[in-house]
Amino acid sequence: MLDDMVSFFLGQTKRRSGELLLSCVLLALGACSSERSGILEVGPQPAPRPLTEGDYRLESGELPRPGEAIRFALSPTAGSEAVRRQYTPVAEFLSETLGAPIEVLVATSYDDLVEKVAAKKVDLALLPPLSYVIADEKSESLELLATAMNRVRTTYSAFILVRRDDRAQSLSDLGGRRLALVSRSSTSGYLLPMSAFARHGIDPDNFFSEIVMAGTHTAAIEMLMRGQVDAAATATGMQEIARIFAESDESEPTQNQALRVLIKTGEAPYDALCSIGDVPKGFKRKVRGALALMNSRNESARKALEATETITGWLSLDDSAYNSIREVRRSQANDVAKEAK
């Protein structure tokens, strides 16, 4: 009788195991026939299919000027040769993705870049925030395609730097001393510092013994390190860029002086990459797509972005992202108008 009981229970166990196995098989088969096969209802969704290089290759009719290279203009932020070395890999990535040659043009100054854009002498331009605002006022055919970003940040900081061993602890300590700005068309090298001076009740023309327009951020930083000025206006990352390109430059080495931030003068959105003129819609759409491919998850794109030292990807932002710059500029213009009365 004991043997009969054992056989009964073993049979029940095998039958239930078989039913459970059959249920699992049927469930799996049903899932495979679903349109969402392989997609979990919870947890992260799978990454979308990566786009191929051919997805954004320009047709002849989509080129700004068929048979000619795309003209890509840049500001001389860190000096002409340094900027060319920074952004040539970016241009090469875009060229390969778009299937069209790209000519890199580094403007001689911020004003020169704006004039090139206004005169439609270029097809693409990477414009610093203030240059973008000014160019947008002068051009009816400027279109924002993407804004540069650094990791998850869409804005950068502007600073006044001094040498680490300088006695200054605040702006007031710079009275009667020498200051290096960059250009009147520079956001962090002029607009935001001037705004900070106004907030602190400082009239820079009477406060500083000398104000020098260095022309580029690296030039302003080098003047500070050499002791030619006592303070310099610059932005996030520029000190590191100045160091890197000074080390690779065969000219007279810059004295290695440690610098520190005296004050932060403000925040600004990163540079705007724009199309210029009446370029075809297909050109703008495919450039946007190529920029979307240019992120740190893409190995070939990552190498191109690393050369810039500051950009890790591109983001589609509305023109309103630059309204803060417009407001600061408008405020300064109003102050100047009041003083003139």
Whole-number Å distance between alpha carbons of 277 and 122 = 8
230 and 91 in a common domain: no
Residue 153 per-residue DSSP state: B
261 and 278 in a common domain: no
Q: How many domains does the chain have?
A: 2
In the predicted structure, residue 47 carries a pLDDT above the cut 60: no
Query: In which domain, by residue range, is 135 found?
Result: 53-152+270-320
φ/ψ (deg, to 5) at 237: 85, -20
- What's the confidence (pLDDT) of residue 246? 65
288 and 147 in a common domain: yes
- The confidence band for 245, taking pLDDT boundaries of 50, 70 and 90, is low
Tens digit of each residue's pLDDT (9 = 90 or more) over 263-320: 999 999 999 999 999 999 999 999 999 999 998 888 889 999 999 988 999 999 999 9
124-151 mean pLDDT: 95
Give the domain-ending residue among 226, 244, 269: 269
- What's the confidence (pLDDT) of residue 240? 82
258 and 162 in a common domain: yes
* HSE-CB of 58 using CA atoms within 13 angstroms: 31
194 and 257 in a common domain: yes
In the predicted structure, residue 5 carries a pLDDT above the cut 90: no
- The confidence band for 236, taking pLDDT boundaries of 50, 70 and 90, is confident
66 within domain boundaries = yes
Does the model's pTM come out above 0.95?
no
For residue 160, give every residue at least 6 positions away whose Cβ sits within 8 Å of its Cβ, in sequence order, or none.
Answer: 171, 174, 179, 193, 196, 231, 232, 233, 261, 262, 263, 265
164 and 125 in a common domain: no
User: What does pLDDT average to over the chain?
Assistant: 84
Cα angle, residue 225 at apex, residues 269 and 231 outer, rounded to 5°: 60
Helix (H, G, I), strand (E, B) or coil at 284: helix
Residue 129 belongs to a domain with what CATH number?
Answer: 3.40.190.10
244-259 mean pLDDT: 60
